[in-house]
Structure 1
Amino acid sequence: MINDKGNLQAKAKKILGALGGIENIVDGSIDNCATRLRIQVKDKGVVDKKLLRRQGALGFICLPENQIQVVFFDVHKLADELRKQAKC
């Protein structure tokens, strides 16, 4: 269930929290492709996948060097808002 449908700022804030907070995101590492949010985190152990799913995440890919890819619909607007809030 997407709790913040229509409220992109609130959704982005919850996603940042689920990723372990802004302090867990490597500076300048928020990126996206057509369907995936691509982020490098400092500690993958604090990422809350259940909370990400509640915010609309459809899947996850964990890669080396703490790279995480999260599949979302309309990822472009979401990535822009995450970068804005994280100031990346």
Structure 2
Amino acid sequence: MINDKGDLKAKARKILAGLGGIENIVEGTIDNCATRLRIQVKDTGAVDEKVLKRQGALGFIHLPENHVQVVFFDVHTLADELRAQAVT
């Protein structure tokens, strides 16, 4: 269930919290491809997959060096909003 359908800013805030907060994201590493949000985190243990699923995450891929990929629909606008919030 997507709790903040239609409110992209609120959804992005909850996704950032699910990723362990802005302080857990390595600066400049929020990226995306066609279906995945690609992020490098400092502590993978701080990532809360339940929170991310409640915001519409469809799957997770954990890669070496604390890289995390999260599958979302409409990931392009979501990644843009996450980048905007990460620099404020």
TM bracket, shorter-chain basis: over 0.9
Which consecutive unaligned segments of at least 5 residues does structure 1 have?
Answer: none
1:49 and 2:49 correspond: yes
Q: Paired residues, what number?
A: 88
Runs of 4+ that moved beyond 2 A: none
Deviation of 1:79 after TM superposition, in Å, equals 0.1
Q: What amino acid maps onto 1:57 in structure 2?
A: A
1:5 and 2:1 correspond: no
Local SS of the residue matching 1:60: strand
TM-score (norm 1): 0.99
Deviation of 1:51 after TM superposition, in Å, equals 0.5
Give the alignment of 1:1-88 within 5 angstroms.
1-87=1-87
Distance (whole Å) between structure 1 residues aligned to residue 87 and residue 35 of structure 2: 22
Local SS of the residue matching 2:60: strand
Q: What amino acid maps onto 1:35 in structure 2?
A: T
Q: Deviations over 1:30-80 (max 9, x none)?
A: 000000000000000010000000000000000000000000000000000
Distance (whole Å) between structure 2 residues aligned to residue 87 and residue 31 of structure 1: 14
TM-score (norm 2): 0.99
Give the percent of matched residue pairs that are identical in Structure 1 and Structure 2: 78
